[in-house]
Chains A and B, each alone.
Chain A
Amino acid sequence: MGYPDYMYESIKLVEATRPRRAEMAKEGLQKFLKPLSAEEREKVLRDNHPDYQPEARKPIRVGPNKGEHLTSEVVDILERPSRLPRDFKLEPVDYETDVLVIGGGGAGCQAALWAAKNGAKVILCTKLRLGDANSMMSQGGMQASVNPGDSPLIHYLDAIGGGHFDNKPELLKIMTSEAPYIVKFLEELGVIWDKLPDGHYQTQSGGGASRRRMLSCRDYTGAEIMRVLRDEVRNHPEEITILEFLPALELIKDEEGKAAGAVLFDMETGQYHVVKAKVVVLATGGFGRIHIRGFPTTNHYGATMDGLVMAYRAGARLLHMDSVQFHPTGAIYPPQIHGFLITEKIRAMGGQPVNAKGELFVYPMEPRDVEASEYIQECKKGLGVRTPDGQYGIWLDSPLIEILHGSGTIERAFPAMFRQYKRFGIDIRVLPMLVYPTLHYQNGGVEIEENCHTSVPNLLAAGEVSGGVHGRNRLMGNSVLDYNVFGRRAGIEAAKLARETEIKGRLNVDHVWEYEEELKGEGIETKGYSPLLLPEYRNLESLKRHRTEFDPFAPAGL
């Protein structure tokens, strides 16, 4: 294992330019490389970003956003029929509760905790285990203006510029102004932030940020926060019932059209469970596993856009679902880690993107969409490094970090990355990492307002499934912040709403059948059902065997 021999020609060139590039970094890279202007950003995005390519978007023919251009793969999944059998009966009700939280990642755990704190009985259901979510995988950090030279206002300005000025201002105000409180709240639960000897937070810069604002927990930031939140949720067995391995299939409404629960589905046994709830909080995460435009993804196995599908059928409006985040630095070699996330913190601490000739060709701290587009462009120019299976990547020169911050820094600050590469025979203290953009984040989602309400009464949403706060491009460290801020708000609001809510009349899933009628009316016939629940990685041969020999749970079957 390790890099194939032929790559060392290029690695030698990287090594040759490294001392000079280290000098530049010490003097401040801004002196040598200017961040792009508005016009230059626009051009590199238009020419290279996957969102701007032909066929990346198409109009959706049904539902609340009918006629709008959304990401093509999103449209394909939204325009499918439900997995629920047509004769499905919502009786008996298996569980009854004040608040149903769908999703066991960061947003779901925050929502469950705060709903419980505010007096609600909560059921939290999740497709896999509690904490199995993208939240667990975030590496680099969380943004919060905790330094004297920074402020919530500068955080706001950075995020709105990074988001192409499309962010909903009132959401962004809430996120940036509540960020320092979230730091404190998590610390009081026992999250171990990286700190300086005097107790102040260690902070790094991030792409598109004009100040050092990134707090971290080594490069296990998401894991540290998520495991603490999970542990805390499990400390409230009286108020919070946890249902693991039970994904939601469809939302349930009452006769007034309010969200009133969900149908859950046991993927092993094919059994359905009906949950009746006064308020539903959707915290199902994003869509990386739908592999938009064939890109590999950094995302969790469960990130299949389920919540968005259920909400859309129930009549919830979507926002910014024409925009996809590709993380600039996904691993492209070795093949076992293809598409895996290489944290932005590598660049924040001085790792530089360089081409096959060893040239630093871009300011390393552009917003993610711009940075990713620059890498794609460099490879198109023929200045990338070829992998044995014919793909191209650029070098992320990690050994610079040891030069700039002293030997031992990588093992201390990046234990996860160091371990990841070591498993495949590459020592990133001395060798650069080969990277290419990878599908990372759902910028948009179900549109929410300040208290997480969607356009469906009693349906709240928080975290990656929701849309608005990031505009059309999220900055690093703002998703961890987003799910904490809005997960908490959703929980508080859900408890309040539950006290005021009375479920009226018959529980029903009529909206599901009305949506299917709409599909038929448009003459839309598709293969397959949605939500996907799990991605498909079996080879064609084995799939054929399953289709012909047994399919015990069709059409809900997997």
Chain B
Amino acid sequence: MTQDLIPIYIYSRKYYVPEGSTIITALEYLGFKLKKGVGCKEGFCGACASLYRLKGDYKLKGGLGCQTVVQPEMQIVQIPFVPAPKAVYKIEELQPDPEIFVRYYPELYRCLSCNTCTKICPQELQVMDFVQAAVRGDFEQVANLSFDCIMCGLCSARCPAEITQFNVAMLARRIYGKYLMKKSTFLEQRLKEIESGKYEEGYRELMSLSQEELKNRYFQREIDFQIT
């Protein structure tokens, strides 16, 4: 990072920060103590969602504070979270039925297909496409398209139809993972083995070894990356 300073606007005030800073490192450089609007700092948690405008551009853009490099004359505000209704449900009582969207998130059907959500998404997800997939009741499609969603909420903040895309997708993914994915038959077998005490004798034996014997066992163990 060079020490050339560039002007940016934070909450409308002008400051100078090192070129190459991200929004978060720029705030820290200036002396803001971050108590909100900051999280993992690596682009996984959605806590540092920010809105910004660039000079001469009428568009309002969105990005993650920890991943967005500041540009000269950029105007920035942070959105620590977006208040949003979340359906409260018992997952074990639901069915993989599109009806659940009608019940829990009826506003979904107001989608105007305006694509504003997709344009603002800092993960560059096809948000409108997964909203439309939910409208069609295609759980698998919603799960696949929304999988990398970090739930920052920017889509919902911008949506003219007031949809909470990230919560709709959350519900769809849980339904898909619980009810629609093929199950592993071997897992059940392994659980039965454990439950029946199959490994107890082996644990007793391992735990009774002297440090020396255990070390020998470990360094002589076979390495085998075949699955079966």
Using CB atoms and an 8 Å cutoff, list the residues of chain A in contact with chain B.
30, 35, 37-38, 128-129, 131-132, 134, 136-137, 145-149, 151-154, 156-158, 160-161, 165, 169-170, 173, 177, 180-181, 183-184, 187-193, 195, 197-201, 203, 205, 210-212, 217-218, 220, 222-224, 227-228, 231-232, 234-235, 237, 245, 267-268, 298, 300-302, 335-337, 340-341, 389, 415-416, 419-420, 423, 534, 537-539, 541-543, 545-546, 558
- Residue B224 at the chain A interface, CB threshold 8 Å: yes
Contact B34 A146, beta carbon cutoff 8 Å: no
One of A173, A205, A211, A336 near B69 (C-beta < 8 A): A336
Measured between C-beta atoms, what is the minimum distance from A86 to chain B in Å?
25
Identify the stretch in B71-79, B108-116, B127-135, B183-191 within 8 Å (CB) of chain A at 4 or more residues: B183-191
A165-B211 Cα distance, complex, nearest whole Å: 7
Contact residues in A for B92 (Cβ distance below 8 Å): 188
Contact B219 A157, beta carbon cutoff 8 Å: no
Contact residues in B for A267 (Cβ distance below 8 Å): 35
Contact residues in B for A146 (Cβ distance below 8 Å): 184, 186-187, 190
Contact B225 A205, beta carbon cutoff 8 Å: yes
Which residues in chain B, 22-52, are within 8 Å of chain A measured between CB atoms?
22, 25, 28-36, 38-45, 47
User: With A132-B45, A165-B215 as given contacts, are A190 and B177 in contact (CB-CB < 8 Å)?
Assistant: yes
One of A161, A180, A423 near B191 (C-beta < 8 A): A180
Instruction: Give 27 pairs: A residue, B residue, CB < 8 Å, sorted on A.
Output: A37-B219, A38-B215, A136-B39, A145-B190, A146-B184, A146-B190, A149-B228, A158-B221, A161-B219, A180-B191, A187-B177, A187-B183, A188-B178, A190-B178, A195-B182, A200-B185, A201-B187, A205-B225, A212-B226, A218-B148, A268-B36, A335-B1, A336-B69, A537-B28, A543-B31, A545-B31, A558-B33
Measured between C-beta atoms, what is the minimum distance from B150 to chain A in Å?
7
A222-B227 Cα distance, complex, nearest whole Å: 24
Contact A416 B43, beta carbon cutoff 8 Å: yes
Please name the residue on chain B nearest to A389 by beta carbon.
B1
Contact A198 B182, beta carbon cutoff 8 Å: yes
Identify the stretch in B54-62, B155-163, B201-209 within 8 Å (CB) of chain A at 4 or more residues: B201-209
Binary per-residue interface labels of chain B (66-110) against chain A in the complex, 1 for a CB within 8 Å, 0 otherwise: 010100000000001100001011111000000000000000000
User: With A136-B40, A199-B185, A300-B41 as given contacts, are A153 and B203 in contact (CB-CB < 8 Å)?
Assistant: yes
Contact B29 A539, beta carbon cutoff 8 Å: yes
A128-B38 Cα distance, complex, nearest whole Å: 9
Number of A-B contacts (CB under 8 A): 230
Contact B223 A192, beta carbon cutoff 8 Å: no
Measured between C-beta atoms, what is the minimum distance from A243 to chain B in Å?
15
Q: A146-B186, A301-B41, A538-B33 are in contact. List 20 more A-B contacts (CB 8 A).
A: A30-B223, A137-B45, A148-B228, A149-B226, A153-B206, A154-B221, A169-B206, A180-B190, A187-B178, A189-B177, A212-B225, A218-B148, A220-B147, A300-B45, A335-B1, A341-B42, A416-B44, A538-B28, A539-B28, A558-B35
User: With A157-B206, A191-B177, A301-B38 as given contacts, are A199 and B219 in contact (CB-CB < 8 Å)?
Assistant: no
A88-B221 Cα distance, complex, nearest whole Å: 57
Measured between C-beta atoms, what is the minimum distance from B25 to chain A in Å?
8
Please name the residue on chain B nearest to A180 by beta carbon.
B190
A57-B181 Cα distance, complex, nearest whole Å: 49
A199-B185 Cα distance, complex, nearest whole Å: 8
Contact B228 A147, beta carbon cutoff 8 Å: yes
Q: Which of A170, A223, A545 has the most CB of B within 10 A?
A: A223
Contact A157 B215, beta carbon cutoff 8 Å: no
Measured between C-beta atoms, what is the minimum distance from A138 to chain B in Å?
9
User: With A147-B186, A157-B217 as given contacts, are A534 and B33 in contact (CB-CB < 8 Å)?
Assistant: yes
A354-B162 Cα distance, complex, nearest whole Å: 50
- Residue B10 at the chain A interface, CB threshold 8 Å: no
Please name the residue on chain A nearest to B66 by beta carbon.
A336
Please name the residue on chain B nearest to A546 by beta carbon.
B31
Contact residues in A for B202 (Cβ distance below 8 Å): 151, 153
Contact B203 A177, beta carbon cutoff 8 Å: yes
- Residue B14 at the chain A interface, CB threshold 8 Å: no
A545-B30 Cα distance, complex, nearest whole Å: 11
Please name the residue on chain B nearest to A539 by beta carbon.
B29
Contact B148 A415, beta carbon cutoff 8 Å: yes
Measured between C-beta atoms, what is the minimum distance from B100 to chain A in Å?
13
Please name the residue on chain A nearest to B21 by beta carbon.
A336
A37-B43 Cα distance, complex, nearest whole Å: 38
Measured between C-beta atoms, what is the minimum distance from A455 to chain B in Å?
23
Contact B67 A301, beta carbon cutoff 8 Å: no
Which residues in chain B, 116-160, are within 8 Å of chain A measured between CB atoms?
123-124, 143, 147-148, 150-151
Contact A152 B31, beta carbon cutoff 8 Å: no
A340-B24 Cα distance, complex, nearest whole Å: 15
- Residue B222 at the chain A interface, CB threshold 8 Å: yes
A544-B3 Cα distance, complex, nearest whole Å: 21
Measured between C-beta atoms, what is the minimum distance from B130 to chain A in Å?
14
User: With A200-B184, A267-B35 as given contacts, are A129 and B147 in contact (CB-CB < 8 Å)?
Assistant: no
Please name the residue on chain B nearest to A222 by beta carbon.
B44
Contact A211 B214, beta carbon cutoff 8 Å: no
- Residue B7 at the chain A interface, CB threshold 8 Å: no
Contact A235 B90, beta carbon cutoff 8 Å: yes
Measured between C-beta atoms, what is the minimum distance from A298 to chain B in Å?
7
One of B28, B182, B199, B228 near A177 (C-beta < 8 A): B199
Contact A211 B224, beta carbon cutoff 8 Å: yes
One of A38, A129, A156 near B203 (C-beta < 8 A): A156
A178-B193 Cα distance, complex, nearest whole Å: 12
Measured between C-beta atoms, what is the minimum distance from B195 to chain A in Å?
9
One of A157, A231, A237, A419 near B124 (C-beta < 8 A): A419
Q: Which of A148, A210, A231, A415 has the most CB of B within 10 A?
A: A231
Measured between C-beta atoms, what is the minimum distance from B156 to chain A in Å?
15
Measured between C-beta atoms, what is the minimum distance from A161 to chain B in Å?
4
- Residue B6 at the chain A interface, CB threshold 8 Å: no
